Amino acid sequence: MSVLRTELRRSTGPAAGVLTAALGLAGLYTLVMSDQSELWDAQWTLLASFQRIMLVVLWPLALGAGAWQARRDRRTNMAELAATTPRPVWRRALPTSAALAIWLVLAYLVTFAAGAVRVAGSTDYPNAGWVPIVAVGALSLVAAGWLGMGIGRLLPSAHTPPILVIAGFLALLVPVQLSKSAEPSGAALLPPNLSTTLDEFTTIASRVDLARAVVLAGLAVGGLLLVMVARRKAAVIAIVPVVLGLAVAVPLVNAAPAGGVQADPGAVAEVCTTDGGPEVCVTTAHAKGLASLTGPARKALTLLAKLPNAPTSVREVTGERPQPAGEAWLHSDNYQPGRGWLDSGDALVVRILAGAGTRPCDPIDYRTRALAAAWLFGQYPAPGQRLRPGEEAAGRDAAWQTLRALPEPQQRQRIAEIRTAGLTCHGDS
């Protein structure tokens, strides 16, 4: 134990840990500086997966730190002296490896904690889905550190660490480059880093992260074996856990969804009003928006009642499924966690009324959606709808005049048709 305590203070571990944490914090907070913090501070799973994106930087550097650590005996001309002691190699190697792993895991967790401060203030959806994502990320750093130590011991040249770092960058970069055209699938999903940001309704497919964990565990054990074997000839054994890990993981990722992500059922689950009035529902990921939506939503429902095919409830939706005739839908893009609905009051009512309470459908016809909202609201332009003067504004004005020139029943008929057309939309936008 006292050896471990010494290694925790005196090995490459502290430097590697501090560097990892510093880079992680810099990555998180440069996004805050450039006003893109919603990429990670909206939800726990977003923070955890953003940290996984940053592994593209941290993983190769951890590899290099391990390789540098492995050269210590040789650098200080201690290798021969250590070889003469009756202590087995693994007894000397274990505390050093443990110290590096502890520092790297600590740095990863510190980065998460620093991001958690912001997430806790803005998320609507406390959940534990981030735990496996963070665990796999931390495991990946341990694997990188130990693999670096193992290769560094096998090839104890001063040039090993820099070459290994570049090799690490390439190993993580090449699958991303190859998948630029399509979503990564199969073995391209195996690197621990993610290449795209998620949204608050999506999470990493558990099967894919399990496969990554198996591969990383194989790499970690293989690296540790390289560090601990007594003779260089015995180093071949390190291939066994690596190959085993790959053999288990490849079938797992081959059966995984493309992109390696899946919908988070807990995040899209509905939270509804229970006060007996017309039903208003939001997704769990946006649960804090329910209170401020209820009033405008019910006002929108009374306005929609003018239609023959009027809906009776308002729901915030995401993803793809057919819209029932009895529901008015508001797309989840209208809400930002921690900031709330993009509009409030009458402008929010108008957002619900857009397309007569249907979701935007590709190709999105903004003019028709806006006209339906304005007609239902009884004011043109409706609150929040003002356009800058230009071709689109002139076209919309003309369309509005044409609509108002019709007799009242035909106007109503026209808006009801817009709603019916919106209901048949099957694509998400």
Helix (H, G, I), strand (E, B) or coil at 198: coil
Q: Which is nearer to another protein, 72 or 207 (CB)?
A: 72
CB of 44 to another protein, least distance (A): 24
Q: Which is nearer to another protein, 195 or 313 (CB)?
A: 195
388: how many CB neighbours lie within 10 A of its CB? 6
Cα distance between residue 326 and residue 126, in whole Å: 31
Q: Which helix (H) or strand (E) holds 262?
A: strand 261-263
CB of 195 to another protein, least distance (A): 10
CB of 204 to another protein, least distance (A): 20
183: how many CB neighbours lie within 10 A of its CB? 14
C-alpha torsion 247→243→261→179, nearest 10: -110
Q: Which is nearer to another protein, 178 or 342 (CB)?
A: 178
Contact between 162 and another protein (CB under 8 A)? yes
CB of 165 to another protein, least distance (A): 5
CB of 57 to another protein, least distance (A): 5
Contact between 165 and another protein (CB under 8 A)? yes
Pairing, β 261-263 against β 202-204 = antiparallel
Contact between 64 and another protein (CB under 8 A)? yes
Contact between 172 and another protein (CB under 8 A)? yes
Contact between 18 and another protein (CB under 8 A)? no
Q: Are 250 and 243 in contact (CB under 8 A)?
A: no
Cα distance between residue 343 and residue 333, in whole Å: 12
Question: In this structure, what token pair is assigned to residue 238?
Answer: 């390190």
Q: Which helix (H) or strand (E) holds 336?
A: strand 335-336
CB of 61 to another protein, least distance (A): 6
Q: Are 350 and 415 in contact (CB under 8 A)?
A: no
Q: Which is nearer to another protein, 162 or 277 (CB)?
A: 162
Q: Which helix (H) or strand (E) holds 329?
A: strand 327-331
Q: Are 143 and 162 in contact (CB under 8 A)?
A: no
CB of 56 to another protein, least distance (A): 5
Contact between 103 and another protein (CB under 8 A)? no
Q: Which is nearer to another protein, 171 or 244 (CB)?
A: 171
Contact between 17 and another protein (CB under 8 A)? no
Cis peptide before 322 (omega within 30 of 0): no
Residue of 79, 83, 113, 158 interacting with another protein (CB under 8 A): 158
Residue of 5, 10, 22, 30 interacting with another protein (CB under 8 A): 30
Number of amino acids touching another protein (CB under 8 A): 23
Contact between 330 and another protein (CB under 8 A)? no
Residue 179 vs residues 174, 195, 206, 257: alpha-carbon distances, Å: 8, 9, 21, 15
Residue with token string 């000397």: 92
Contact between 337 and another protein (CB under 8 A)? no
DSSP β-bridge partners for residue 178: none
Contact between 370 and another protein (CB under 8 A)? no
Residue of 161, 241, 357, 384 interacting with another protein (CB under 8 A): 161
Could you give the strand order of the β-sheet that contains 327-331, starting from the edge strand earlier in sequence? Answer: 270-272, 280-283, 313-317, 327-331
Q: Which one of 52-60, 260-268, 277-285, 376-384 is the stretch in contact with another protein (CB under 8 A)?
A: 52-60
Q: Which is nearer to another protein, 166 or 393 (CB)?
A: 166
Contact between 29 and another protein (CB under 8 A)? no
Residue of 57, 198, 221, 227 interacting with another protein (CB under 8 A): 57
Contact between 173 and another protein (CB under 8 A)? yes
Report angle CA 114, 117, 119 to the nearest 5 degrees.
110
Residue of 3, 4, 18, 23 interacting with another protein (CB under 8 A): 23
> Taking Cα atoms as reference points, which of 427, 428, 205, 425 lies closest to residue 333?
428
CB of 340 to another protein, least distance (A): 26
Contact between 196 and another protein (CB under 8 A)? no
Contact between 113 and another protein (CB under 8 A)? no
Task: Using CB atoms within 10 Å of the CB of residue 262, give its burial: 0 to 12 exposed, 13 to 18 middle, 19+ buried.
Answer: middle
392: how many CB neighbours lie within 10 A of its CB? 13
Q: Which residues bind another protein (CB under 8 A)?
A: 23, 30, 33-34, 56-57, 60-61, 64, 68, 75, 158-159, 161-163, 165-166, 169-170, 172-173, 177
